[in-house]
Structure formats: structure tokens, C-alpha cells
Amino acid sequence: MVVGIGRAHAKAILLGEHTVVHGTPAIAFPLPALPVRALARPAEPGTGSQVPADGHFRFTVGGTDTALSGPRVAAEEALRRWGITDTTVEVVVECGIPLARGLGSSAACAGAAVRAVADLHGLVVESGELYDLVQCGEQVAHGRASGIDASAVLANGPIRFHQGRAEPMPIGLDAALVIADTGVPGSTQHAVAGVRRRLDEDPVRAGSLLERASGLIEAAGDELSAGAAESLGKTMLDFQELLAELGVSTPHIDALVTAALGAGAHGAKLTGAGLGGCVLALTEPASAPGVSAALRRAGAVRTWTVPTRAMHAGA
Ligand code: MEV
């Protein structure tokens, strides 16, 4: 049988989550160690949607399936744009990214699904169109998404994202990032709505907070390219403070940040939407095992270590 295969991967936001929805830049990098694979094939009659279990799920496009999941909507929109109307396609997604942890699972599943459907039809999707299609899915999954997740899960290396455009971000840093899963699912839609409410309540304070955020993101970009790990760690902590002011940190996240610092990390902060999800710590490579162990002792259910030199999808 003819099948199409598509892939994408997780992402982590270094700095700029939430404020990016309100116009600041943000910096993110791909996590190729957490991949998504999708397979597309002509559907057997009677195949329908199946909710995710162990990261695996299936759906059909081009038929009668109307399940409102981001990946299905993105793939359905792809068929519509490409004028493919005479077929029902089954898409099976194997998602190696923990769901609802701020690591871009919904965008990565949508990206892999669209690539698989394109591959089945012998099409190569140009990156701008792929981004647009993943964004169609993200609007369903998260409401008004900035596009940083859609960009980073398809990127081959670190990116600076600003107002719908992603540029490669130069990295001169020899350090490690330890990502710790709080084990608590966080709703991006809920977190984004909460931040919007806070900003709307006090426009003057909102303006100065977003200005502060932009300054920190610019500083982080310079520190990343100059390899200034210690000052980047401080910038991450300042951004974490700002995210706490926006109401998206939790006592559990704060405890993990404290544990990482206690084990020698240069800095730590939540990554993604918060209210659960994951914490990201910056450390010297030699200190990474100690930082991971401290994060697990403080309640992280799992950790991943990414050397900054391996922040490329091909690495
Ligand atoms: C979620 O990974 C990042 C947020 O900034 C939402 C968005 O940018 O769409 C919280």
C-alpha cells in the first residue's frame, strides 16, 4: 500500500512566551530528541478518530470525520487548499512529546500530519505554506496562537521569532539546558486568556511590562551569541519573575526553579504556557547531572538534558 510519512519535533521557548502573543520577539529552539512521526494512507471504510493514548492517535481527513483536533483541522485544510477532494485519508500519529507540557505537541503533530498527507500525494510543502497550515490547527488547539510553536517545531535550529517571522538565531554558547516536566498538564488557551485579562486590566502597567520583556529578550539574544552563560541565566530569572507577575507560574514551578539554582544552574524559568508544563534550567555541562537530580528530588517527573551545541534538528 502507498503510504506518506511526515515528521516534526518538540520545541522549547528560551524567552518570550506569552509576551510574544502581544508583539514582543521570542527565542526558541527545536528538541529533536522528542520527535513526532505521522503516517498517511488511504482510509479503510469505517475508520474514524481515536483519542490520544500513549501519544498515539488516528483520524481521517477528506471524509465524514469532524473531530475538532488541531492536527486533523490542519491536514483537512491542506487537502482543501491542494484541491484533493476525491479521497479519504487515514492519518496515524505517533507523538513522542508529552502532551500539554509546553513543548509544542499540538503544533508538532499538526506539522507531521500535513507533511505525511503531502508525501502520500507526492507533494513537497513549502515552509511558508506548512507554517500557515499548522497555524490553522493551532487556532483550534489554543485559540489565538502567536505562531512561535508552529515555527519552532518545524525549524532545524534555534530561532528568533517576531510577528510571524522566524530567523535563525546564532548560538555561541557551550552550556546545557535541562528541561524538567512538572507532571502537571497546563492549558495554553487558559493561560493565554489569563495573561490577556491581566494586561487588559492595566494598560499602563502592561506597556511597561512588555517593554521590559522586549529588553530582556534582546539581551538574551546578545548573551546567546556571545556565549555569556552567567548573564543569560540572570536574564532567564528576570523573565521568570515577569511571567510570575503575569500569573502563569505556580508554587511547583517556583520550587523547581529554586532547586535548579541550588544545584548550581545559572538560571531557570518556566517554558511554554506555564500553569504546569515544564521548567528550563541553564547550566554548565558538567553540572547538568546534578541539576537534573535536584529537579527530580524537587518533584519533576522526568528531565531531559540538551547540550546547547545539539540545538539543531540534524544534530
Ligand atoms: C506556548 O508555547 C507559547 C505561548 O506564548 C502562546 C503562543 O505564543 O501562541 C504561551
Q: How far apart are CA 285 and CA 38, in angstroms?
A: 33
Average pLDDT score over the chain: 94
Ligand 1, from 34, 149, 195, 210: best to mutate by most atoms within 8 Å of Cβ?
Answer: 149
Domain shared by 141 and 190, yes or no? no
Range of the domain at 179: 171-310
The verdict on 212 and 93 lying in the same domain is no
Same domain for 15 and 62?
Answer: yes
b/e sequence 283-300, b meaning 16+ C-beta within 10 Å: bbeebbebbbebbbebeb
> Which residue, 108, 139, 167, sits at the end of a domain?
167
149 is a catalytic site residue: yes
| Residue ranges lining ligand 1, Cβ < 6 Å | 13, 17-18, 20-21, 102, 142, 145-146, 148-149, 188, 192, 272-273
Q: Which residue has the cell 521548567?
A: 279
The residue out of 167, 184, 206 marking a domain boundary is 167
Same domain for 68 and 163? yes
Cα(39) to centroid of ligand 1, in Å?
27
Residues 176 and 298 in one domain: yes
Give the pLDDT confidence score for residue 259 in this predicted structure. Answer: 98
Segment 92-102, tens digit of pLDDT:
999 999 999 99
* Pocket probe mutation, ligand 1, options 15, 22, 146, 189, max atoms within 8 Å of Cβ: 146
Are residues 75 and 97 both part of a single domain? yes
- What is the distance, to the nearest Å, from the Cα of residue 210 to the centroid of all Cα atoms in its chain? 21
Query: At CB < 8 A and 24+ separation, what contacts does 261-265 make?
Result: 261/237, 262/294, 263/287, 263/290, 263/291, 263/293, 263/294, 263/295, 264/290, 264/291, 265/178, 265/233, 265/291
CATH number assigned to the domain comprising residue 258: 3.30.70.890
* Residue 201 within a domain: yes
Q: What is the pLDDT of residues 142-151, one digit of tens each?
A: 878 999 999 9
pLDDT at 248 over 70: yes
Provide the ipTM.
0.99
- 85 burial (CB, 10 Å; 0-12 / 13-18 / 19+) is exposed
181 burial level (CB within 10 Å; 0-12, 13-18, 19+): buried
Which domain-ending residue is among 113, 142, 167? 167
41 and 69 within one domain: yes
Residue 265 located in a structural domain: yes
- 168-189: pLDDT as tens digits: 998 999 999 999 999 999 999 9
Residue 104, amino acid: G
> For residues 12-23, b (16+ Cβ closer than 10 Å) or e, as one string?
bbbbbbbbbbbe
What is the C-alpha R_g of the chain?
Answer: 19
In the numeric block, which cell numbers belong to residue 171? 548560538
Q: Which of 135, 140, 148 should be mutated for ligand 1, with most atoms under 8 A from CB?
A: 148
Question: Quick check: 74 pLDDT over 60?
Answer: yes
Is 249 domain-assigned?
yes
Q: Could you count the other beta carbons within 10 Å of the beta carbon of residue 51? A: 9
CA distance 137 to 71: 6
Closest residue by Cα to atom 9, ligand 1, is 145
CATH assignment at residue 149: 3.30.230.10
pLDDT tens digits along 28-64: 999 999 999 999 999 987 777 777 777 788 999 998 8
Do residues 37 and 160 both lie within one domain? yes
- E strand intervals along 102-244: 159-162, 165-168, 176-181
User: Does 16 share its domain with 143?
Assistant: yes
Closest to 265 (Cα-Cα) out of 238, 301, 289: 289
Residue 163 within a domain: yes
- Of 23, 274, 315, the residue nearest 155 (C-alpha): 315
- How many structural domains are present in the chain? 2
186 CA from centroid of ligand 1 (Å): 12
Residues 95, 117, single domain; the answer is yes
Check 65, 119, 149, 181 and give the catalytic one. 149
Alpha carbon of 139 to ligand 1 centroid (Å): 11
On whether residue 232 sits in a domain, the answer given is: yes
Shortest-distance atom of ligand 1 to CA 273: 10
301 in any annotated domain: yes
In this structure, are 185 and 202 located in the same domain?
A: yes
Same domain flag for 33 and 110: yes
**Residue 315 included in any domain:** no
Atom 10 in ligand 1: which residue has the minimum CA distance?
Answer: 273
Taking alpha carbons only, the member of 285, 282, 291, 284 closest to residue 263 is 291
Query: Is residue 92 domain-resident?
Result: yes
Residue 34 amino acid letter: L
* pLDDT value for 312: 63
Cα(272) to centroid(ligand 1), Å: 6
